[in-house]
Amino acid sequence: MSAGHPRDVVIVGASLAGLRAATTLRAEGFTGNLTLVGAEQYAPYDRPPLSKRFLTGQAPADTALPVPDGLRACWRLGRAAVRLDPYNRILTLADGTGLPYDGLLIATGAAARSGAVPGEPGPEQGVFTLRGRDDATALRAALTPGRKLLVVGAGFLGGEVAAAGRALGLDVTLVEAGAVPLERAVGTEVGAFVGTLHREAGIDLRTGTTVAAYRTGPDGRLTGVRLADGRPIAADVAVLALGAVPATGWLAGSGIDAAGGVPTDSRMRALFPDGSAVPGVVAAGDAARVPQPLADGAAPALGHWSGAVEQGAAAARTLLRGEAAPVFAEVPSFWSDFHGVRLRSVGLPGLADTAKVHECDRGARRLEVSYHLDGRLVGALTIGRTSRLAAYREMLAEHTS
């Protein structure tokens, strides 16, 4: 990527990472043509409220992200990118339009992972996934008090949806394959603590099991499920919260192996399988796999809001400055809200071989845990103790720099 400013920049994915990149480009002096391509018809909007205050009706239906005046962008919304020719530098949209570019940012995010049960019903039958605004609107309409909600997967998203369901007065069952919620992400100590919060809120948490089959009535609508342990659960509405997969299928045939996310170097340049940079192409956010200094350069899939923001900005700087752009060395961070508490983490707790619990007060709903790998700090997590994370973040930043 040359250090001279590009003239035509195309951003694929008009959401969090894409908007942040666009804003950064203009803020740092880019005067050329800027195009944002988005598969959805909506201007950029924020996703975190969709599983929280939006579902409970406390947030407006429109969670739009602020678009700065003076962005001077050409918006191509409601049109998905379907093909990338990186050799001739042309992006093709679903309507057949070919967009030439000097610089291209891939920021197409991720899609909800679907379940593995054959014959899984869809939203019309009462089984939902949650990734975008339309999903959230349809789910919110289905969450009427007195109904029975089944949430499959007790990760962050599943926990938030289950909590929203309880707040709305539904009977909620939360099914989790692991021994406790969130075990792989943050370990058994935090998982057990969160499991207790769910149970105290009246959620029927079933761990160590999965959905084996769906039951529907004569009208085709969901009536319940049979779990792998044979037990039946009645449900009018189900939400599959089984994680996300990078929305990179449209890159098939481009020469980039993006099935697990677009691999990048530490300046967000997209890489071909031989490790060479794709000319003029950067990637950021949930669609990208970015090397993390805390993981000694490995690139785990994270899917964090702050990562999309920081990577979007970093990718824009690389489009403008090439090799002179700073390498990406932000400390990952994440938050989740449920049952009136805020969980926050910094670093990469999932890497740890040891978790040290510094405070665990179930009554006061407070928790502080640090995570270590081979004796080195790799992450920290708090519930109800956000202020304590700053010191951990500083220590982690020393390592990443």
Ligand X SMILES: Cc1cc2nc3c(=O)[nH]c(=O)nc-3n(C[C@H](O)[C@H](O)[C@H](O)COP(=O)(O)OP(=O)(O)OC[C@H]3O[C@@H](n4cnc5c(N)ncnc54)[C@H](O)[C@@H]3O)c2cc1C
**Using the rule CB under 6 A, which residue among 17, 22, 34, 152 binds ligand X?**
17
Using the contact rule CB under 6 A, the part of the chain among 37-45, 181-189, 197-205, 256-264 near ligand X is: 37-45
Based on CB atoms, which residue is closest to ligand X, 75 or 335?
A: 335
- Per DSSP, helices labelled H in 269-348 are 305-321
**Using the rule CB under 6 A, which residue among 55, 81, 149, 211 binds ligand X?**
81
* 13 lines the binding site for ligand X (CB under 6 A): yes
- Please give the Cα distance from 182 to 298 (Å, whole number): 21
Q: 370 by DSSP, 3-state: which?
A: strand
Angle made by CA atoms 231, 237, 241, in degrees to the nearest 5: 80
Compute the least distance from the CB of residue 290 to ligand X, in Å: 11
**Using the rule CB under 6 A, which residue among 109, 187, 261, 280 binds ligand X?**
109
**Using the rule CB under 6 A, which residue among 51, 266, 318, 382 binds ligand X?**
51
Based on CB atoms, which residue is closest to ligand X, 110 or 180?
A: 110
* 182 lines the binding site for ligand X (CB under 6 A): no
Q: What is the chain's percent helix, strand, coil content, to nearest 5? A: 25, 30, 40
- Please give the Cα distance from 206 to 158 (Å, whole number): 13
* 379 lines the binding site for ligand X (CB under 6 A): no
Based on CB atoms, which residue is closest to ligand X, 13 or 153?
A: 13
Tell how strand 8-12 and strand 103-106 pair up: parallel
Compute the least distance from the CB of residue 309 to ligand X, in Å: 8
Compute the least distance from the CB of residue 223 to ligand X, in Å: 26
Compute the least distance from the CB of residue 313 to ligand X, in Å: 12
- Please give the Cα distance from 97 to 104 (Å, whole number): 16
* 251 lines the binding site for ligand X (CB under 6 A): no
> Tokens 């291209």 sit at which residue?
104
Q: 11 by DSSP, 3-state: which?
A: strand
Nearest to 296 by CA among 334, 348, 245: 348
CB atoms within 10 A of CB 53: 16
- Contact footprint for ligand X (CB under 6 A): 12-18, 37-40, 47-48, 50-51, 80-81, 107-110, 130-131, 157, 247, 250, 285-287, 303-305, 308, 334-336
